[in-house]
Structures are given as structure tokens and as C-alpha cells.
A and B are shown apart, each in its own frame.
Chain A
Amino acid sequence: MQDTDSEAVILKIDDVSKVFDGARAVDRVDLDVNEGEFVTLLGPSGCGKSTLLRMIAGFEVPSSGRILMRGKDMSRDPAYQREIGMVFQNLALFPHMNVYDNVAFGLRARKRTDDLDRRVREMISMVGLEGFESRRTGQISGGQRQRVALARSLVTAPDVLLLDEPLSALDLKLRRQLQVELKRIQRETGITFIFVTHDQEEALSMSDRIAVMTAGKVDQYGSAVDIYHKPQTEFVARFVGETNFLSGSVCSVTSEQTELDLDGTDIRLSVATTSAARRQGERMSVSIRPEHVLLGARGEYSVPARVVSHSFSGATITYALDSAAGPLLAQVPFQPGRGHPLLPGETVSAGWPNDAITLIPA
């Protein structure tokens, strides 16, 4: 976790729960968002991320807990009194208005009509839609509609902008392009973004911090690098990228080092102790990302393994291996002309460096 200066915290989710018909959609969530930050709520569908977003927007009232904006409790304020913009999953552009009037709506509603025209045109040009002002929203492309939705929600300069999977309906290429653009616009405006997605790649590439959610709870909240390289739960490790799980028993714990006997081998792993550490004799897992598995006798540890299958994906080849410590995925760079890929049935030694291992409570 990075240091959070309390001055800079713009939005504070304080022990918030939401119960629908007895089911806890959001379960005692705590979250701080700093001013100007790009935070992503990441999780599978039904994990509560959209419900949390709707509570921040003011479309749902928390069953318990508080939502504070710049230190002021606004959990029960109606949506129209909050300085919070929102980009909807289906965009929700006003179909009976043209692009200009869609963008101008927020300023008119908030009665900020002096130099309205200049601000609307400025925003339209920031999202690259000059010349489309008088088009109806039905007469423009999906990507352009996306930009209108963004411009409409940014024109009032909200304190926080919420984005509910706004890119999910677009094809991959357009999606990539808009991800870059969203990031640019966020930097240029300095507005705090809270972005909801189920796409872990999208989350990793765009966010300052990611909150990984499952079953209504935040499993881990941290930088993209931490989420990927130091997952604290099995769910986070599995949901964000692919990973290998190897299990073992703890044989000694000090404040710095935890030693773990890996099942099926005589390997004793020595890893940095984390909050997840357990007492001697207890079961734990380690997570090793496939791209950190090295083939050939390399890395600090190695186990004998047999190739089960391989799949080629351009720059890399992923091998499914059967090792003494259990099944392993290894993703290695593919260099044409540097020998043939390993074939199923071949034996190889699979290893990994010590710092590639993360302890996960079993």
C-alpha cells in the first residue's frame, strides 16, 4: 500500500454494506481514494463492484456504513446533489438530443450557463468530436458515443468520475485505443476516476490502484504491480493473470523468513515472511507466475518435469508440465531459429528464482 496523506483523500468508503433481500451484495467494504487517482474496482460479475459504484453515485443507499466526500458524509444525499459524474455501461445518452445538447445538459442542470458554449465546445474538442455537435446520438459510431458520454460527464468538472464498464461493448482494438485516451483525459483533467471492470488486463494497464473484489468484499487493494506480483489471496492470484499453485508445510517462521517444505520434493523454499505467514507445521501455498518458470537447470530451485502439451501464442509458448511438485504452467519467450519447441513427453528441469514466489494462505 502506498502512503496516503489524509489531506488528499477525496472519497472514503467507511465500512459500507448493502443487503438486497437478505443477500449481502457489498459486505463491510473500506476504501480510500486519493484526489486525482485512477482507482479500479476489479472482480467477476456479481462481486458487488457495480453496487458499490451505484452507492457512491447515489442511486442506492448503503444498508450500513458511510460514504464520505472530502470528509463529509453524503451516504444519504440524493444523486443530483453530489458532485459525482458517471459514465454508464450502456452510456445512457439522451436519444432525443444532439451531441451538443447532451454535453451541455449538466451545465444547464447545474445552472452554470455563463460561458456555457465555450466550455461545451472545449470538452467536445478534448474528446475529438468537433464537427459532430449537431448529430443525433443515433447517427454516430459506438466509439464516438463513448466519447460523448465521457464529455457529458466531465463538462461539469465533477470531483469524482465513476465509470461502469464503459468499454465492455467495444471491439478489442477500439477498446485499447479508448483505454489510452481515457488515461490521457484523466491526466489532463486531474479528475479522480473510479473505474469498474471485470477485465484484469484493462485494470492492470490503466489503474494507479486496484481493489480486487469477490463476494461483496475487497480482497486486496493496492498498486497494479502489487496486485500482480504480491497477491495476498488465492482468489486475487487466480483472478489477475494466470498462476501456478504449489503447496507445502511450514517448517520454520522468523520475522524475516518463512521456510516451506514443498510437497512431493525435497525442496525447502525460503521466502520473505508476509502477513499471510502461518505457524510451523501449517499448510500454505505459493504462487508462481507462469512467465517466471524457467526451463533448463536455471533459477534457485528446480524440479524434474515432463511436457504434457504446449500452446503457441506469437511471442511466447506456454507449456503445461507435470512436475514432482504438481502441475506447472511455464510461459517462455519463443525465438524463431533457436531450436524447436519441446514436444509432449520430453523431460525438462523447471525452476524459478526465489523472488518470484508469493506466499498464499492455503
Chain B
Amino acid sequence: MTSRIIAVAVLLFLPLPIVIVVLSSFTSAGYLSFPIKGVSLRWYAEFLGSADWLRVMGTSALLALIGATVSTAASLGAAWAVVRHRIRFGTVYETILLTPLIFPHAAIGVIMIVTLSSLGWLGTFTGLVLVHCILTIPYAYRPVAAALRKADPALEEAAASLGSRPWRTFWQVSLPAVRPGLVTSLLFSFIISFDEVTVTMFLVGPFVMTLPVQVFSEVLESASPVIAAVSATLVLFTSAMVFVLDRVIGIQFFVERD
């Protein structure tokens, strides 16, 4: 009985901050507070009426879209080499791909400042795309590799024996067979990129800014409830994507291994 009470308490506690942020975004007061004084949508109006916020949101969405696509395509190539062609040192290669998961993000941030400035990409959109690819590849690689391991290599031989040339086999047989992995990979790396703060913070500049980093710097400067409205929108957006993911593929696909 006690254990059940603890379990319920934990389950209620976990989403509690999210609930508080969402509730406080509807405040009518001019400062961030909880419980809220009165109900209003003025902060949503301010968020969606601000060209600055919308531009930053657009940058983040575009960055996440390009990053997710590039990461997924690169992961497919890498996974193909490791899983299908069993290249030498495949598992070593796999581990290297997954290192951004365990490497301290602050350190990656510093390393990337050095790397990007030597390339002349510091504070540019291109630089952010590169870094976001590196950060999302571990999330993109696993579902793609898992899907490829599940897919039967005899499918491609079957297609060839039916007279299908390699490109046709790739588009009509190989790709559809790993489609669940590709969709998971795209959505998951999109979410990771869209929400990334720690590393991105080091790399933004006057000409490029992402939504989560903007939220962070706003919080430092003021306690405007518009931040709560932005956060609530982000939560809604991310939840919607996870929901879609669960409906389309099943959430266990990237929770379980293989």
C-alpha cells in the first residue's frame, strides 16, 4: 500500500512543474507568479504577435528540420555499412557515433566554439546545423540501425532475383523495410534539436538565435510571463510529436533495444 502511494506520488510529481508552467502562462499579471492572479491570454498574444519571437521560432524549426534530415540520412548510411556490410571495427564506429550522448555538453560547447571559429562558422546558421547534426546523430542512429537489423537481407536478394535493378530495390524494398526506423529517427532528432540549449548557448550570436536559448536569456533578464507562454507552446508541440510518434510507430521502438 505504501509503495503504491509512493508510486502515485512520483507519477504526479514528475509532470507537476510542467502543469505549473502551463497554468502560469495564463496569468493576467505582469510578472511570473504562481498561483496566478487572473486568467488571460495576453502573453500568448504577445508571443505570437512578436516578430522577434516568431523569427527565432522559425530559425529553430528550420534548424531542427535540416538537422534531423541530415542526421537521419547520415545514420542510414552508417548503419548500412555497419549492419549490412559488417565493416571492420563496426562496433567501435558505432560507439564513437553514440559518444555525444555521454560527453559533457559544456565541453562540447567549448570544443565547438574553437572548431566553428576556425571554420569561420561561429554564430552562423550553418555552424548550428553542423553541431546539431553531431548532437542528434546518436538519437537518429539507434532506431535506424535497429530497423535495419530487423529487416531481412534476403528481401534485397528476392528483389534482385525478380529482375529488380539496385536502385529500384533500394527505393521499393530496402527503404520501406526500414521506414519505421527512419520516421522515429526524424521525429526524435527533430525534438532533440528543437529543444537543445546547453551546447547551442555557446554558439549563438547576434545574427542567429534559437528559441530555447532565447527563452533562457529572457529568463535571466526579466520574469515576463511570455516565457511561460513560449514554454507551454513548446511543451504542447513536443507532446504532439511524441503522440504522433507513438501512434505511427509505437513508443517502444526507441525505448527498447532492437
Residues in chain A within 8 A of chain B (CB atoms): 57-59, 78-82, 84-86, 88, 90, 92-96, 105-106, 109-110, 152-153, 156
CB-CB under 8 A from B159, the residues of chain A are 94, 105, 109
Instruction: Give 26 CB contacts A-B under 8 Å.
Output: A58-B160, A59-B157, A59-B160, A79-B161, A80-B161, A80-B166, A82-B161, A85-B162, A86-B157, A88-B157, A88-B158, A90-B152, A92-B154, A93-B158, A94-B158, A94-B159, A94-B173, A95-B155, A96-B176, A96-B177, A105-B159, A109-B164, A109-B165, A110-B163, A153-B162, A156-B163
CB–CB A57/B162 < 8 A: no
Residues in chain B within 8 A of chain A (CB atoms): 152, 154-155, 157-166, 168-169, 172-173, 176-177, 179
CB-CB under 8 A from A80, the residues of chain B are 160-166, 169
CB–CB A106/B154 < 8 A: no
Q: A94-B173, A96-B176 are in contact. Are A84 and B161 (CB under 8 A)?
A: yes
CB-CB under 8 A from B158, the residues of chain A are 86, 88, 92-94, 152
Q: Quick one: which of B162, B172, B176, B177 contacts A152, CB cutoff 8 A?
A: B162
CB distance from B165 to the nearest CB of A (A): 6
Residue of A nearest to B175 (CB): A96
CB–CB B154/A90 < 8 A: yes
- A-B residue pair count with CB separations less than 8 angstroms: 68
CA of A82 to CA of B161 in the docked complex: distance in angstroms? 7
CB-CB under 8 A from A96, the residues of chain B are 176-177, 179
CB–CB A109/B152 < 8 A: no
CB-CB under 8 A from B169, the residues of chain A are 80
Known: A81-B163, A90-B154. 12 other contacts (CB 8 A): A58-B161, A79-B160, A79-B161, A80-B165, A80-B166, A86-B157, A86-B158, A90-B152, A92-B157, A94-B155, A109-B163, A152-B158
CB-CB under 8 A from A153, the residues of chain B are 161-162
CB–CB A105/B162 < 8 A: yes
Residue of B nearest to A111 (CB): B163
CB–CB B163/A92 < 8 A: no
CA of A78 to CA of B157 in the docked complex: distance in angstroms? 11
